[in-house]
Chains A and B, each alone.
Chain A
Amino acid sequence: MSDLLIAVGGSGQHTALAVARLARIGALTAPRAFVIDADRSALAASLESFGGTASAGAPHPFPGGATVVPPFDIDRGTTQFRSLFVDQDHPVEEELFELFYDEEAGGSGSTGRAGLDVGRGMFGNPAVGSAVFASSRNKIMKPLFEVARGANRIFIVGSFLGGTGAGIIHQLVKLVNREVDAKVRASMFGAFLLRWFSLPPVQGLTVTPETLLASEGHGLQYFFKHTKFDLAASLLVGAPDDPGACPLLALRPANPGNAETVNIFPLLAAYGLEMMPRKTDQQQGSKTYSLAHDDADPQGLWILKQEWNKPENPPSRSATLAARWQEAILLQQLFASFLDRRSDFVGFDYTGSSSTWKGLMKEEAKKHNVKLDLYAQRVLEALVHRGRQLYFATSWLETIFGDLDLSVPVGNSADPMTKKLYADWRHRRWNHPLALNEVLVAAYQPVNDKKVELDPKLPPDYAMAEAIERGILYVLRKS
């Protein structure tokens, strides 16, 4: 049984992207993902493709990927909120519907006003989002509940802002809670963002800063009254009113065009997946957590110093996020070095190749009836793809934290090889021959020792690339 991440709305997808990136660098164990949003945005495309890097050979960090599912029945042929419920055959239903929803949201049969088109979003109407979701419970959302029943732990992420996440999350929590057994119910967690970006005060927009704040306020009311009791623990995090001298905490404007907005808050929400199960004593009932920032640490090193995904990532001495970030940087540099010496990599023209990778790749190439040089060429391409995925993760961290010396937050627990290579890279002493002649060759040992094995589910060349990456990580972490 694996963990399940349910991401709802724009903020949920931001958190899901954070989780996927952190999973890619080993800071979180990758859960299965189920993503719900009304519209097909640039953000959704980025999540589905993992920034355009996911492919058959470099699969999405989430097992099975991250397909974004709309919260309404597409087969109904309409995305008008009114039409999802009201039809000519049920006039009493129409009367009831109009008791619940005003004309702006629910349209009108008498004036012909259409109301909201939920196919383009909920436009800051959680009351609409909740109804749309609840109505699809036994239809398009059915697979979600099936997956939830078989999950080890469930993490629900999103925000109380806007209309989609703010509207769906509470009913989602309630309905999932009803569907799963007591064991899963005791391992249901929620990580929710409060105000974490700013909106320009543009006249005429449906969603305004005021509507966001209203959704947040009423969403929190509802959360404390109902939702929190259906979760083993929850994390609430958002930008403080006064960020002080810390630019990390300042509200940044939402990226136009529904593309990704990068700041620290989705990362903090993702930290909830790591922190909540560890902190939560199931005997003590539902707790709600938040995070706190130390003004004496304006760079936010505390979150990089936290332990993530422990006890995974052996034999590393450090479970800090900074350590994983360092490794991801080094892997990219190593893969880039391999590419720089493409002919040496493909022709096995480096010291120690004969007794290491050449033999294994020859055996694999023969097994799959491929010429050795072509096979090695494909392995190199796969490594480049993997490097792009790592870049998608590390460039995001760099946008959040800026240019940091990661040896500081890693501190004394640093793994020696990582420490040395990171220092070389950081101080521009990177040595290309070293990558092939020492690191790559050394990475064969854990493969030979069966500490790292080829993944039979992947295409053979990509399985080899993955084994190389894991072998290198083993080398980097070895004392």
Chain B
Amino acid sequence: MRVLLPKIQKPAAEHVDVVATLQETWTPQPQHLRAKSFPTPFSQAEMMTHVLGMLKLESGGRPEDITRLNPDIQQSYERWELLLLGVALGELAIETVDLRQPTFDNFGRMVADLRDECRFVSLIRDLRVAGPRGTAMLVAGTDPECLFWCSARVPTYWNALKTRISGHAFAPEARQLLAEWRGVLQANGAWNLEQGPVWQKALHIALDGVPPTSSTAKLAADARFVGPVYLEVPRKQEQGEVDYLALYLPVLARGWGFRFQDLLFLKPIERGAGAVTLEDTTTQRVIARVAKSVGAARGDAPSSDPASAVSSERFEFLAGVGRLDVDESAAVHHGQLHWLDDQNGQPGYRSLVVAPLLEAGARSLRRAVTEADVRAFPTLFPDALRLVFSGGEATSADEVRVQLSRHVTARRSAGVALPQTGLPPKAWKPGQAVPNVVAIPAAKGAAAIGLVERYGPEGRAQDVGELRALGLAMWLYYLGECEVQSERGLIVWSADEGQELFGRVRTAEGSTSLELWPHGLRLANEQSERARAKDKRATLQRFLVTWARKGEGDSDDPRVQGERIGAMAALAWIQHVMGGSDSELRPFGPATKRAPDAFALGEGLVLPLFVDEYARE
């Protein structure tokens, strides 16, 4: 009996026959491939998946460019590889968008509805080529299965890109970077050439000739990350099953890693009337800028001229944290006391940067990552900023949700969102390990900024963050090398010579969150400062004694909570100083009495300060 199906020659024993997959039998030949015949709006991505699926791992050579066989098809391995290298070399930019945003209207909603995993799509733009609307030309998109797929519309674009990429001096270096990135995936069980997604096979072929490596030196030192891009990765220990992971793609940027921690500390400088540019305070290099802004020129009152009131529309971080829309105008005005805070109705850093970041976070899928995820897979979660919420965002008495600075999501495991929390002081008890994330209670609506991840090359990772820097500040105060001064309603921590060390806290207008300046953080991490602390070993032991049991008592008591913050900061600093030392620092000597000064962190929440009784002798 013959089976009633085209192209099938196999005989059947009965009138009703069970059909096996037989997919190969019906797959069109390369010259007959037609993307628009895929029954989904994602037809171009499906076609790229199909084309990559045709790649043979064992062939050893580059596959023939399928567009030569079929000029009507936009998808080919060659173009995929150009996109991969274009992104890795920074020739192409990635813009991750939420298709449910109103700007994408019903088309975006429709596409997002069809595939949950494609709600967030990364658009690939060529910054050197203008599109029909004057924006950087949109040349491709991303997809979980194939990673990149080409636009349906730009058939003549690819030759120009090929010329740029093939002649690029850093292409070998970019391949090396990608090989390290692949190594991270392999090391984390997110790689399977045989049964994994086709993008991994394509990447493997693209890196033909680049030896596998377990090193992440180049990733740590010379890469910034763009994305996130949702990609399929093989599920550990389950053959053929996939997870969706938010991955960041590496972009070659020499020396980027060394500036990583400094990216936290941005300072706005002015450029032109009313415009704000953010500057990295340590390198004086421009980090971010407001593309268009408004306001009065320096020294002027805000203009009432509507013609000059052009709203700020786009805020772009050059630091690789993506683009953020800012609705409000942005300007720094003469007489603005502190660039962190809003002044005279003009937004400061907090409104300008933090608020949009929070908004972006609120728009996210709210799939969260744990600290363990970040530690285990640092290159996949490279965000420079971590925001720690407290107050109204607390999910329970024992945990405070950590809002990442942008949309960073967890690997999705059976649809269960992982918890992502910071530990509030009320949940910490003296004697416990110091948490990586401390959620400092702040007044309702206020956010405390905390850096909560480790940083550094594999095996030498170290925690960086304000907690340790605060410990340093307390240590310097303990030694008598730093004072707390009152100045126009502000409390300033300053060194003997009057240099501002750690920032200011406004006390006259109620409590605000603690800010720490980059000088302090750098100081905390300098080897010389650590050595100096170790040299004062006995003093450090007294410092430990002083803080070791602080924070005992009623967890709901703000006073106790303030002590716990201090204890955690002191312990974090001591552990940092003693890190790598063979001997454990043991408490020694008498505990020191509290100094007359204290540091207001929030309503009723006071950080007590202590001075070593021998320090000023």
A211 to chain B, nearest CB (A): 7
A195-B6 contact given A174-B114, A210-B32, A289-B19, CB 8 Å threshold: yes
**Partner-binding segment picked from A42-50, A92-100, A403-411:** A92-100
Contact indicator B114/A127 (Cβ below 8 Å): no
Contact indicator A216/B2 (Cβ below 8 Å): no
Asked if B5 is an interface residue, CB under 8 A from chain A, the answer is yes
A214-B32 contact given A92-B103, A195-B6, A238-B5, CB 8 Å threshold: yes
Asked if B36 is an interface residue, CB under 8 A from chain A, the answer is yes
Interface centre among B4, B9, B37, B44 (most CB of A within 10 A): B37
Please give, as numbers and ranges, the residues of chain A lying within 8 Å of B272 by CB-CB distance.
none
Of all chain B residues, the one with the shortest Cβ separation from A93 is: B105
Contact indicator B38/A95 (Cβ below 8 Å): no
Interface residues of A in 128-146 (CB under 8 A from B): 128-131, 134-135, 137
A409 to chain B, nearest CB (A): 13
Please give, as numbers and ranges, the residues of chain B lying within 8 Å of A455 by CB-CB distance.
none
Asked if A2 is an interface residue, CB under 8 A from chain B, the answer is no
Please give, as numbers and ranges, the residues of chain B lying within 8 Å of A106 by CB-CB distance.
152
A89 to B104, CA, bound (A): 10
Asked if A478 is an interface residue, CB under 8 A from chain B, the answer is no
A220 to B50, CA, bound (A): 13
Partner of B34, one of A92, A211, A238, A290: A211
Asked if A250 is an interface residue, CB under 8 A from chain B, the answer is no
Contact indicator B39/A239 (Cβ below 8 Å): no
Asked if B113 is an interface residue, CB under 8 A from chain A, the answer is yes
A131-B37 contact given A217-B28, A221-B26, CB 8 Å threshold: no
Partner of B40, one of A170, A215, A217, A241: A170
Contact indicator A99/B5 (Cβ below 8 Å): no
Of all chain B residues, the one with the shortest Cβ separation from A195 is: B6
Interface centre among B74, B132, B135, B140 (most CB of A within 10 A): B132
A109 to B153, CA, bound (A): 13
Interface centre among B11, B32, B105 (most CB of A within 10 A): B105
Contact indicator B41/A100 (Cβ below 8 Å): yes
Contact indicator A289/B35 (Cβ below 8 Å): no
Contact indicator B5/A86 (Cβ below 8 Å): no
Please give, as numbers and ranges, the residues of chain B lying within 8 Å of A279 by CB-CB distance.
16
Asked if B133 is an interface residue, CB under 8 A from chain A, the answer is yes
The total of chain A residues at the interface (CB under 8 A) is 82
Contact indicator B2/A90 (Cβ below 8 Å): no
The total of chain B residues at the interface (CB under 8 A) is 61
When each residue 156-170 of chain A gets 1 if its CB lies under 8 Å from chain B and 0 otherwise, what string results?
000010000011111
A473 to B546, CA, bound (A): 101
A469 to B4, CA, bound (A): 37
A126-B108 contact given A195-B6, A213-B32, A217-B26, CB 8 Å threshold: no
A194 to B7, CA, bound (A): 11
Interface centre among B22, B41, B153 (most CB of A within 10 A): B41
Asked if A40 is an interface residue, CB under 8 A from chain B, the answer is no
Contact indicator A90/B5 (Cβ below 8 Å): no
Partner of A288, one of B4, B19, B35, B43: B19
Please give, as numbers and ranges, the residues of chain A lying within 8 Å of B8 by CB-CB distance.
240, 290
Contact indicator B6/A239 (Cβ below 8 Å): yes
Of all chain B residues, the one with the shortest Cβ separation from A137 is: B113
A126 to B39, CA, bound (A): 5
Asked if A75 is an interface residue, CB under 8 A from chain B, the answer is no
Asked if B238 is an interface residue, CB under 8 A from chain A, the answer is no
Please give, as numbers and ranges, the residues of chain A lying within 8 Å of B227 by CB-CB distance.
none
Asked if B107 is an interface residue, CB under 8 A from chain A, the answer is yes
A138 to B33, CA, bound (A): 33
Contact indicator B107/A99 (Cβ below 8 Å): no
Please give, as numbers and ranges, the residues of chain B lying within 8 Å of A242 by CB-CB distance.
2
A99-B103 contact given A137-B113, A288-B19, A295-B1, CB 8 Å threshold: no
Asked if B545 is an interface residue, CB under 8 A from chain A, the answer is no
Of all chain A residues, the one with the shortest Cβ separation from B149 is: A99
A169 to B38, CA, bound (A): 12
A422 to B111, CA, bound (A): 58
Say what secondary structure dominates the interface of chain A.
helix
Asked if B17 is an interface residue, CB under 8 A from chain A, the answer is yes
Of all chain B residues, the one with the shortest Cβ separation from A278 is: B16
Asked if A18 is an interface residue, CB under 8 A from chain B, the answer is no
Contact indicator A292/B14 (Cβ below 8 Å): yes
Partner of A130, one of B1, B40, B135, B138: B40
Asked if A25 is an interface residue, CB under 8 A from chain B, the answer is no
Asked if A110 is an interface residue, CB under 8 A from chain B, the answer is yes
Asked if B291 is an interface residue, CB under 8 A from chain A, the answer is no
Asked if B471 is an interface residue, CB under 8 A from chain A, the answer is no
Contact indicator A96/B107 (Cβ below 8 Å): yes
Contact indicator B107/A97 (Cβ below 8 Å): yes
A287 to B9, CA, bound (A): 20
A15 to chain B, nearest CB (A): 14
Contact indicator A293/B32 (Cβ below 8 Å): no
Asked if B357 is an interface residue, CB under 8 A from chain A, the answer is no
A127-B36 contact given A293-B2, A294-B1, CB 8 Å threshold: yes
Contact indicator B153/A241 (Cβ below 8 Å): no
Partner of B5, one of A170, A215, A237: A237
Contact indicator B1/A218 (Cβ below 8 Å): no
A99-B106 contact given A91-B133, A220-B23, A237-B5, CB 8 Å threshold: no
Contact indicator A90/B23 (Cβ below 8 Å): no
A238-B105 contact given A105-B36, A211-B34, CB 8 Å threshold: no
Partner of B16, one of A90, A129, A171, A291: A291
Asked if B578 is an interface residue, CB under 8 A from chain A, the answer is no
Interface residues of A in 264-291 (CB under 8 A from B): 265, 268, 275, 279, 287-291
A270 to B249, CA, bound (A): 50
Asked if B21 is an interface residue, CB under 8 A from chain A, the answer is yes
B324 to chain A, nearest CB (A): 15
Contact indicator A99/B151 (Cβ below 8 Å): yes
Q: Which A residues are within 8 Å of any B CB, using their own CB?
A: 85-87, 89-103, 105-106, 109-110, 124-131, 134-135, 137, 160, 166-171, 174, 194-195, 210-211, 213-222, 224-225, 236-242, 244, 249, 265, 268, 275, 279, 287-295, 302-303, 306
By Cβ-Cβ distance, the 10 closest A-B pairs, closest first, are A292-B12, A127-B43, A126-B39, A214-B34, A217-B28, A292-B1, A85-B107, A214-B37, A218-B37, A102-B152
Having A135-B106, A237-B4, one finds 19 other A-B pairs with CB under 8 Å, namely: A85-B107, A95-B138, A99-B123, A100-B42, A102-B36, A109-B132, A126-B39, A137-B110, A166-B37, A213-B32, A214-B28, A218-B34, A221-B46, A237-B5, A289-B17, A291-B4, A292-B3, A292-B14, A292-B15
A-B contact pairs, 28 of them (CB 8 A): A85-B105, A85-B107, A85-B110, A92-B103, A93-B106, A95-B135, A100-B111, A103-B153, A126-B37, A127-B38, A166-B37, A168-B39, A171-B39, A211-B37, A214-B33, A215-B37, A218-B28, A220-B23, A222-B38, A222-B46, A224-B23, A237-B4, A249-B4, A290-B3, A291-B17, A292-B1, A294-B15, A295-B1
Q: Which B residues are within 8 Å of any A CB, using their own CB?
A: 1-9, 11-12, 14-19, 21-23, 26-28, 32-44, 46, 50, 74, 99, 103-108, 110-111, 113-114, 123, 131-133, 135, 138, 140-141, 151-153
